[in-house]
Structures are given as C-alpha cells and as structure tokens.
Structure 1
Amino acid sequence: MDCMWCDRIDAEQTTKDCYWILPDGKDAVEILEIPAIYCQDCGSYLTDEMNHDIDMALYSRELPKGKKELTYKELMSAPYKNIFATKNV
C-alpha cells in the first residue's frame, strides 16, 4: 500500500484510537480501533474518506447515552437517528 503523503510503498493497514468532537460541539467521544494507515516516515493517520465516514456517522447515528468511548464497529453499527419521529408535547 502506498502512503498518501510521501508515496512510500510499504505503508501498512493498522488501527488508531482518536478523540472526536460530537456534532453539537459540547462533548467529545473516543473512538477505538479506527482503520488507519501506518507509514514508517509519516506515522499513523486516517484517510480523508475515513474522517468523512466518522463525521457522517456521528451526525446521523444514535450513540449510546453517556458513553464516552466506543469502537469504530460499534459506531458504524449503531442505529440511524429517526429524524421524522414526532415528539409528544
């Protein structure tokens, strides 16, 4: 695999733990075991596509209440928010 920054040809797939600010901007969550790239020259990093996928998942999925960390797989398998649900007033 090629490194997207330095074009080194021996970059490897790995995982990375990262903190992410939630869409409301009031809190953060630690996401564990995110698929990442490791390059001996550049270190480990997430691709632009992975950053986008996580941003969209945090915006559109129901996260467990009060949970401050979850795995990437838990995030991606969380149910979608029901934006059409009516509120009982």
Structure 2
Amino acid sequence: MQCMWCSNMNVDQGTKDCYWILPDGKDAVHILQIPALVCVDCGSYLTDEMNHDIDMALYARELPKGRNEITYEELMSAPYKNIFDIKNV
C-alpha cells in the first residue's frame, strides 16, 4: 500500500483515536480505535473514505447519552436515528 501523502510504500494498517465535532457543532466526541493507515514517515492518518463514513455515522446514528467517548465499532453498530419520530421535534 502507498502513503497518500508522501508516496512511501511502507504503509501498514493500524488504529487511531480522534476527537470529532458533532453535527450540531456544540460538542465533540472522542472516537477510539478508528481503522487508520500508518506510514513510517508521516505517522497515522485516516483515509478520506473513513472521514466520510464517520461524519455520516455521527449524523445518522444515536450516540449513547452522557458519553463523550465511543469506539469506532460502537459507533458503527449504534442504532439509526428515527428522524420521523414526532416526539423528538
């Protein structure tokens, strides 16, 4: 695999912990163990596709109440928001 930043061919799979601003812009969540790429020259980073997947998951999924830290797997397996529930309006 090739690094998207420096073109180094010495890239491995790894994980990365990141803070993400929630879609409402009022708070952030610490997401743990996100699949990432690790370059010996650049360090670890997330692909554009992974950034997009996390953005969409934060927009569409229910996060556990009262928690500001979640694993990537917990985020991706969280239930989808019910946007048609009239009680939430």
Distance 1:37 1:87, change over 3 A: same
Q: CA RMSD in A?
A: 1.4
Instruction: Show structure 1 runs of 4+ deviating over 4 A.
Output: none
| Count of aligned pairs between the two proteins | 89
Partner residue, 2:77: 77
Structure 1 alignment gaps of length 5 or more: none
> CA 1:88/1:43 → structure 2, altered by over 3 Å: closer, same or farther?
closer
Cα displacement (A) at 1:56: 0.4
Q: Percent identity?
A: 78
The alpha carbon displacement at 1:6 in A equals 1.2
Match of 1:2 in 2: 2
What TM-score do the two structures reach when normalised by structure 2?
Answer: 0.95
Distance 2:14 2:88 in 1: 46
* Aligned twin of 2:15: 15
